[in-house]
Amino acid sequence: MAIGFKLITSVVIFAMMPSAHSAIFLIGMNWYWLVLPVVVLALPAMFWYRLMRVRARRRELIRAEWRVDPELDWNPAATHGTMK
């Protein structure tokens, strides 16, 4: 809500006085409102990316430890944990 208000107010101010000086002033006074959405979106994206890397690494380590081919389907509920 606050970001929308800031954006609309800045557009109105710039529409009243369109010049390089007013653009520099508006950017200088509101730069942190431009950075805030980037930070808010980047933190979950970085967490998700790390989670995907950890899961891939875990799969890789399990395959290496048990020497399981990725194509084979492991069935642990079967009588001796047989491979299909």
Residue 6 or 41, more confident: 41
User: What's the pTM?
Assistant: 0.49
**What's the DSSP call for residue 18?**
-
Confidence of residue 67 (pLDDT cuts 50, 70, 90): confident
- Taking 3-state DSSP, the helix, strand and coil percentages for the chain, each rounded to the nearest 5, stand at 75, 0, 25
First to last CA, the chain: 56
The pLDDT tens digits for 7-45 are: 899 899 999 999 999 999 988 988 888 888 889 999 999
In this predicted structure, the answer to whether residue 83 has a pLDDT above a threshold of 80 is: no
d(CA 67, CA 74): 12
pLDDT top residue among 32 and 68: 32
pLDDT in tens, 41-57: 999 999 999 999 999 99
For residues 15-39, one letter each, b for 16 or more C-beta atoms within 10 angstroms of the residue's C-beta and e for the rest, the string is eeeeeeeeeeebeeeeeeeeeeeee
